[in-house]
Amino acid sequence: MERRTIIFGGLASLVSKSLDFLPLHTSNPPSNTTLNQFTDEETTKIEELKARLTNDGFGSETIDSLFDYKNLEIYRRIGRLFIRNPENNVDLVDTPEKFEERYKKGYRKQIRLDDKIESAQDFAKKHSSDLEGAESEYDVDRRVIVGILGIESDFGKVTGKYKAFNSFVSQYLVRVYKNDESEKRRKDRAYREIKKLIEYSKRTGIQILKLNSSYAGAIGYGQFIPSSLNEYFVGKNGTVEEADPTYMVDTIYAVANYLHKNRWNKTIDNQSPKVNEMDWWEINDMVRKLNKNRNEPELLDQISANNPRNWFSIWNYNHSTAYIKAVLEIADSIKI
């Protein structure tokens, strides 16, 4: 799911320290690779990646076609894009006053939230039938579906200028973290997503190299990563195989399915409290706990049982307080 770049004075070093990223440099970043321009280290890592895929049972024909150097591009700036994720500039502050200030003066402007709110009602009207259908089928709030699509792709206008396969290969190759253990987890995640991308292509018949994405490898109007495409992107017909991530109707149903499968509680009142009545600093504290302990069942059960406006389900879509708040701002603006 795409995260646009934002820079606040002096904040890059704070984010780098907080997330254990490699430090940023102020010089111009290196350009992406052009055809066949790979360093020896990159070539070695590419061969390592190909060997892992071979050992996991992927055929040589598949691997050779994907790693044809005329199609392969390494996004060497990708670590910088992750570091400068705009949500981090809000979520990682140490006081509620800073949270509100950075949310209002930075994040809202960077993602053009007012413009999205202005467009949301027309989008909801245009797709009212399918939004109502998805709401009925999955017992979720259609306004939240609209909010997510507004943040993720500006209602289908922005889906990314990268290639998903190249994005995940770049995430595998380009070092981001200083800590070796953190780097291994990030690298293994990229590898899992490469395998899921190949699986998704085989299931749907969509050619891998035709799948555009955000720099993070998120695909389509709902910005699903490959593992989520395979698990949740069922579309209106209810199957992954027939759904198209660049078709808005399928995306509406897929987002609804995602929320439903991630503990959406239909008994929660989704009309109140309004977004400006919620204690966002308290929610941010819970989000931080979730982000550190997201695999602890007791914590997940505790928070999902008491989360106004089903913010916990939205957190599953994107682990950010700023993101959740922006989604609900759009949702609150829609009149049904």
Residue 108's CATH number: 1.10.530.10
Asked if pLDDT for residue 17 goes beyond 90, the answer is no
328 shares a domain with 287: yes
Q: Which of 18-22, 43-47, 69-73 has the highest mean pLDDT?
A: 43-47
149 shares a domain with 165: no
- Distance (Å, rounded) from C-alpha 55 to C-alpha 132? 46
Beta bridge partners of 162: 213
Tokens of 273: 């409290």
Asked if pLDDT for residue 11 goes beyond 60, the answer is no
* 327 is a domain residue: yes
* 298 is a domain residue: yes
Asked if pLDDT for residue 5 goes beyond 80, the answer is no
256 shares a domain with 155: yes
285 shares a domain with 325: yes
Asked if pLDDT for residue 147 goes beyond 70, the answer is yes
* 196 is a domain residue: yes
Sequence-ordered list of residues with C-beta below 8 angstroms from that of 266, at least 6 positions apart, any chain: 139, 140
- Distance (Å, rounded) from C-alpha 152 to C-alpha 245? 13
* 36 is a domain residue: yes
315 shares a domain with 266: yes
Task: Note the pLDDT of residue 175.
Answer: 86
CATH number of the domain at 60, please. Answer: 1.10.8
194 shares a domain with 315: no
279 shares a domain with 171: no
Q: Evaluate whether 15 touches 84 at the Cβ level (below 8 Å).
A: yes
pLDDT, tens digit (0-9, with 9 covering 90-100), for 161-201: 999 999 999 999 998 878 888 889 999 999 999 999 999 99
* 181 is a domain residue: yes
Question: Could you tell me the pLDDT band of residue 32, with boundaries at 50, 70 and 90?
Answer: low
Backbone angles phi, psi at 221, to 5 degrees: -65, -30
Average pLDDT, whole number, for the chain?
A: 89
155 shares a domain with 241: yes
259 shares a domain with 241: yes
User: What is the percent of the chain with per-residue pLDDT over 70, rounded to a whole number?
Assistant: 89
Question: Could you tell me the pLDDT band of residue 34, with boundaries at 50, 70 and 90?
Answer: very low
295 shares a domain with 195: no
Instruction: Report the domain count for the chain.
Output: 2
* 321 is a domain residue: yes
The whole domain housing 47 covers: 11-85+161-213
Q: Which residue has the higher pLDDT, 177 or 316?
A: 316
170 shares a domain with 146: no
* 224 is a domain residue: no
* 225 is a domain residue: no
300 shares a domain with 177: no
